[in-house]
Chains A and B, each alone.
Chain A
């Protein structure tokens, strides 16, 4: 809590210069760094366990980075998928990539004879330049790939596999920063019980799907980081008010996320609502007092002295209605500047990308967001009603009268099962009973979190605006995934959605865990937290065990 207070004091002093950012970084609690190191170690372990290119679309993301690093340009969408670079294509063939993907019974190379062939390909002077196609990654914005070009270049004297190994290290680092941001988010969101922050962040650090993704080259890793950063910025803004120092991180992380992958468009309404509420709060002294009161009450309750109501605390501290009004009027200018920072830092990279994409890289306006023709090549018809129904059923059971969009229940089959564990190119899983057991544990943790929310309903009422932002982030992301899923179904008849697309909500996952821990109070909370972390560790270890069995047995 002292760390949080110091961080808060630093932020309140003004806009973040580089010295202040440095001081801010130094004052992050030690436990937060430890959680990040845990995530880094876990991500690196996954990167060593999972064979090359066995993380979804890793071949495509590698090809994109190669295009950026080798030619300094972005991949071009073409009418049909062309060959990758000879170096990548031959490597994929010799490591038996095409035979392994989607074939859970086919192992990684098992013989020294295969290794000889792989090394022979690595020695050949094959071109590392492709024809400009990066398969499924082609339409993505370039930020992640520009960053990954650094390790790619560092490994330029090595083979394709050497470069990939170095690129995976950067992804693992992104995973570590993501967990650091989750910890900071929990600090802001749930002040008072610091062990709950650690448990929430460690639950994220050991989440197997997240660890698996952190160990591979995939732009989703930067999306997880930027999404966590955006939510941290939002939580911080709600705790401290909208100022340039609190508005800028929201815009910076969201802007960076949008030029990584358009999935983060789903966060845009939530971020807009957060900034709007920040402005409203600055214009409304009562709201501001309520926020301060809520903060005071949270802090008190954290010390086990939840006796005074928030508004009483606020009144006790307020020198008078007139003085309060003056103070809040003085908060309007920083709030407006904060909103401007947020909007500007979202708009600048996105506009820059759109301009470069169209006029420099000649890739059309926004290739990832295209309109869908009325009739698709699959013979299915696009309709707005059908799209709404598809989005609904992608996450919830169909309502009476709805035309069934799926032959299965995506909530259980895609999201729950995928979150518990479906690895590789979605080609290996746990035994069926594991999903039932995991579902029970998740239900219990959610129930504990709900109990905590009910117990703290007074605070919750004060923070209903903030809660709305997180709910909107969840809904926005689901709608974005649903739109992509529907378009993919119409255009190609294939299944788009995967559980990893929900990992931008890792902060909220950590928050649910932290809430569940808090319900135990000071007496039982640490024990509940320890149990949850042990379950997360076991889950992660068994995920790695089935990965070893799938590829090396």
Chain B
């Protein structure tokens, strides 16, 4: 039984599987504030807001993803705003009433340039109370809830890119991110290096089994 048909079939299956994977589209993140989604860190009565500083607002943000509980009631209006160090508005947006509790995405004005040290605020504009998820107890951060300072607590803000994107569309962004947080020796070519090395590994492996199979 020849090796080549098996090899060709295997390669075809791999290519098809990767093609299916790469075309799968879903909302993608532009960044996060790294807060664990551990528990409900803030409870907001109508008209109250929670704010926290030192947020990194990433570029290409078009929504903020949060986990909000409504105690079973239909979701009412909530608004989110991000301001810079001098209080200037960086972006803002709101979620219209009618949403269901759980993970929600609050659309905001598109952010083109990243800002460090932003302050993020979430305001409960509705008539009933809400709970906002994050980390309460283990966090080293502080936040303000209805004007009071809460120690060791932080709300999770995940920043979302516009619309839905396939892995293929996200690829340039993933490649860019793969150049961050690595050694200067490798970071600019790490993605290309990994690709080339895997090409080499697969090529050598296939060559080896074809040659060995032919000699069998």
A205 at the interface (CB under 8 A from B): yes
Per the 8 Å Cβ criterion, residues 108-137 of A in contact with B are 108-115, 118-119, 122
B34's contact among A99, A119, A523, A531, by CB below 8 Å, is which? A99
- What is the bound-complex CA distance between A537 and B9, given in angstroms? 13
A109 and B205 contact, CB distance less than 8 A: no
Per the 8 Å Cβ criterion, residues 524-553 of A in contact with B are 524-527, 529-531, 533-535, 537-538, 541-542, 544-545, 548-549, 551-553
B180 and A111 contact, CB distance less than 8 A: yes
A165 and B183 contact, CB distance less than 8 A: yes
A299 at the interface (CB under 8 A from B): no
- Contact segment of B69-77, B91-99, B145-153, B192-200: B192-200
Question: Which residues from chain B contact A42 at a C-beta distance below 8 Å?
Answer: 197-198, 201
A526 and B1 contact, CB distance less than 8 A: yes
Per the 8 Å Cβ criterion, residues 77-127 of B in contact with A are 114, 116
Per the 8 Å Cβ criterion, residues 145-190 of B in contact with A are 167, 170, 174, 177-178, 180-186, 190
A34 and B207 contact, CB distance less than 8 A: yes
Known: A107-B177, A522-B216. Contact between A538 and B10, CB under 8 A? yes
A392 at the interface (CB under 8 A from B): no
Question: Would you give the shortest CB distance from B1 to chain A, in whole angstroms?
Answer: 4
- What is the bound-complex CA distance between A138 and B100, given in angstroms? 50
A41 at the interface (CB under 8 A from B): yes
B202 and A49 contact, CB distance less than 8 A: no
Task: Tell me which of A533, A535, A549 has the highest count of chain B C-beta atoms within 10 A of its own C-beta.
Answer: A533
A537's contact among B177, B202, B213, by CB below 8 Å, is which? B202
- What is the bound-complex CA distance between A541 and B191, given in angstroms? 14
Task: Tell me which of B170, B185, B209 has the highest count of chain A C-beta atoms within 10 A of its own C-beta.
Answer: B209
Known: A48-B194, A531-B10, A534-B7. Contact between A109 and B177, CB under 8 A? yes
Known: A526-B216, A538-B10. Contact between A41 and B198, CB under 8 A? yes
B31 and A111 contact, CB distance less than 8 A: yes
- What is the bound-complex CA distance between A279 and B194, given in angstroms? 48
A105 at the interface (CB under 8 A from B): yes
Question: Which residues from chain B contact A545 at a C-beta distance below 8 Å?
Answer: 18, 21
B182 and A534 contact, CB distance less than 8 A: no
- Measured CB to CB, the nearest residue on chain A to B211 is A31
Known: A48-B197, A51-B182. Contact between A112 and B216, CB under 8 A? no
Question: Would you give the shortest CB distance from A243 to chain B, in whole angstroms?
Answer: 30
A529 and B213 contact, CB distance less than 8 A: yes
A44 at the interface (CB under 8 A from B): yes
Question: Which residues from chain A contact B207 at a C-beta distance below 8 Å?
Answer: 34
Q: Per-residue CB proximity of B1-26 to A under 8 Å, as 1/0?
A: 11100110011011001100100000
- What is the bound-complex CA distance between A115 and B10, given in angstroms? 40
B58's contact among A39, A41, A111, A206, by CB below 8 Å, is which? A111
A164 at the interface (CB under 8 A from B): yes
Question: Which residues from chain B contact A122 at a C-beta distance below 8 Å?
Answer: 184
Per the 8 Å Cβ criterion, residues 333-369 of A in contact with B are none
A37 at the interface (CB under 8 A from B): yes
Question: Would you give the shortest CB distance from A383 to chain B, in whole angstroms?
Answer: 35
B114 and A51 contact, CB distance less than 8 A: no
Using C-beta atoms within 8 Å of the partner chain, give the interface range for chain B: 35 or more
B204 and A108 contact, CB distance less than 8 A: no
A162 at the interface (CB under 8 A from B): yes
B44 at the interface (CB under 8 A from A): no
Question: Would you give the shortest CB distance from A96 to chain B, in whole angstroms?
Answer: 6
Question: Would you give the shortest CB distance from B67 to chain A, in whole angstroms?
Answer: 11
A38 and B177 contact, CB distance less than 8 A: no
Q: Per-residue CB proximity of A200-218 to B under 8 Å, as 1/0?
A: 0010011000000000000
A301 at the interface (CB under 8 A from B): no
- What is the bound-complex CA distance between A52 and B170, given in angstroms? 22
B36's contact among A34, A39, A103, A114, by CB below 8 Å, is which? A103
- Contact segment of A4-12, A190-198, A482-490: A190-198
Question: Which residues from chain B contact A198 at a C-beta distance below 8 Å?
Answer: 208-209, 212
B184 and A41 contact, CB distance less than 8 A: no
B205 and A114 contact, CB distance less than 8 A: no
Per the 8 Å Cβ criterion, residues 82-101 of A in contact with B are 95-96, 99-100
Question: Which residues from chain B contact A409 at a C-beta distance below 8 Å?
Answer: none
B58 and A537 contact, CB distance less than 8 A: no
Known: A105-B37, A159-B184, A165-B183. Contact between A38 and B205, CB under 8 A? yes
A112 and B181 contact, CB distance less than 8 A: no
B49 at the interface (CB under 8 A from A): no
A164 and B183 contact, CB distance less than 8 A: yes
- What is the bound-complex CA distance between A165 and B208, given in angstroms? 29
B215 and A108 contact, CB distance less than 8 A: no
A-B contact pairs, 14 of them (CB 8 A): A45-B193, A45-B197, A48-B193, A110-B29, A110-B177, A111-B31, A112-B114, A155-B185, A206-B201, A533-B205, A537-B14, A538-B14, A542-B17, A549-B167
**A-B contacts besides A35-B205, A158-B184, 9 pairs, CB < 8 Å:** A38-B201, A41-B198, A48-B194, A52-B181, A106-B34, A110-B177, A198-B212, A202-B208, A537-B202
Query: Chain B interface (Cβ within 8 Å of chain A)?
Result: 1-3, 6-7, 10-11, 13-14, 17-18, 21, 28-32, 34, 36-37, 56, 58-59, 114, 116, 167, 170, 174, 177-178, 180-186, 190-191, 193-194, 197-198, 200-202, 204-209, 211-213, 215-216
What are the nearest 6 A-B pairs in CB distance? A534-B10, A526-B213, A99-B34, A195-B212, A109-B181, A165-B183
